[in-house]
Structure 1
């Protein structure tokens, strides 16, 4: 378990981010600026509204300090590759989803360290572990920002090869992600079940609130249906493995999740967010099919 926590999880995280970067071109970032409104709304929802919602959920359920710090830590993490897959299956705006994930991942080493430092010190006070701000920044850069940038560079320099590898690597990354979540749950199922009464309601409420906020925010500010549901998905689907590994880096504990209670909110959220988001995905697909049929009938 020590090897899995210290090596496999960070390596899997880096591989997933690299596969994301490999699917991006410089033009993808130019398109972000051409679609400033949709991207700005999505980024604001993820970077600002998400932590605010997490803070409110913590207060509402009166979570213990270390659990509160862990849930806040998760809220600062960028979205993961699974949000892109769910957006595609929901018939959302895949280009917007990938752009949001990529940009927030590249920015993570700037946004995550100060916010993570604040949340741990705010909620845990004198009981906070002794950790290094710069260690968090370096770790975040190595497992999120650098792999994405490396993937983009490889795509730019070796475009034909990258195009051939893009889909196999992204499919592998999705499987890798799913196996990683499953392995973490199986290895710690008794612990996760034991903490379900403490964390279950909060980790079920948060993705539901985030999905509704993202959808409402997009509708109020004039996004189309495809963009609106993409913002909702990107806001509610978080990078749980990154939250787990960051908690381990901060606490300096590595033998098992049982010794890292700060990681438990991320571990549980990796399950509960899908219980909330997948019904929305099926609803979005059903609505998209209905809208398509209405469009054909109108013609």
Structure 2
């Protein structure tokens, strides 16, 4: 069995183009659920928003970096964990926040703002933490990652669809209201189908190497949810907001990570296995957490819940 850092998963260019289109459709669906009022809400809860954004783009990548060192994982696995941590959240976080009886308005606003910020910050964040890693930095140099090129790719697959979705929601509200639920469900199922396809097409590799990443993914995912919760708690946010921030930080768009891995890293083994396993485990863990929270009201209950 080859070392995980030496394998390259198979994913043909045509499939990658379709995956790019699916991810763009997913971002379009997120934008259809976004309104100008979502951005205006930021002005009404600036502290909660600032805490959530900082937890996602500053604290989580730093915590992930430390976790890769403590676990002593291979370079490609470390890069996969760092890349996932740098990804923006997906709109499944909004659904889970609602199930958890958290602040859905905060969750929706954070998703919109985070995806906009990620267009520029994500490649820079990944390049910084990846190059800082004592083992993974050498692997990153051999790949010769260009953050500017990655920005262009991210603009094409999440930036433009997001802007188009915002325009559609603003200019065609009636049409948007009719189709947004269908778009959200279809795009999410299509993304899951492609993650399954990526795993099925490389089943032997996943079977051989999943044991290397499963513990790392489970710990990393739990740490991501915990990072959001701790950041929200130590900064004085109430339980209602803490639930939203925890889920928003814990849910990462592993589909975007998978696209970037096949586009820029040639399907590098450890990275792809991490992103593939994360894509499923993240939803399972998030659903379990949201269901547990959903069984009890936030404490102390905010005024809007008492009304």
TM (normalized to structure 1)? 0.88
Matches within 5 A, 1:121-136: 121-122=131-132, 123-125=136-138, 128-136=142-150
Quick check: which one's helix share is greater? 1
Q: Which residue of 2 aligns with 1:22?
A: 32
Secondary structure of the residue aligned to 2:252 is coil
Aligned residue runs from structure 1 range 116-265, under 5 A: 116-122=126-132, 123-125=136-138, 128-251=142-265, 253=266, 257=267, 260-265=269-274
Q: Secondary structure at the match of 2:16?
A: helix
TM-superposition CA deviations, 1:213-255 (whole Å, max 9, x none): 212221222222221111111111100011111122222x2xx
Unpaired runs of at least 5, structure 2: 1-10
- Residues 44 and 263 of structure 1, relative CA distance in 2, 3 Å threshold: same
Please, which of 78, 92, 96 is the counterpart of residue 102 of structure 2? 92
Q: For structure 1, list consecutive stretches of 5 or more residues without a partner in the other structure.
A: none
Q: What does residue 102 of structure 1 align with?
A: 112
Q: Deviation digits for residues 83-109 of structure 1, max 9, x if unmatched?
A: 122222222222211211111111222
Matched, 1:8 2:18: yes
In structure 2, the CA distance between the partners of 1:95 and 1:34, relative to structure 1 (3 Å rule), is same
Is 1:81 aligned to residue 91 of structure 2? yes
Q: Helix, strand or coil: the match of 2:296?
A: helix
Match of 1:113 in 2: 123
On the 8 A contact 2:238/2:300 being kept in 1, the answer is: no
What is the distance in 2 between the residues matched to 1:271 and 1:43?
24
* Residue matched to 2:282: 273
Taking the aligned partners of 1:38 and 1:290, their CA distance within structure 2 comes to 17
Q: Distance in 2 between matches of 1:30 and 1:72?
A: 31
Is the contact between residue 229 and residue 245 of structure 2 (CA under 8 Å) also seen in structure 1? Answer: yes
What TM-score comes out, normalization by structure 2 length?
A: 0.86
- What RMSD over aligned residues (CA atoms) do the two structures have, in Å? 2.5
**Mean Cα deviation higher: 265-274 or 32-41:** 265-274
CA distance in 1, matches of 2:51, 2:130: 28
Contact 2:232-2:242 within 8 A present in 1 as well: yes
* Cα contact 1:243–1:266 (8 A) shared by 2: yes
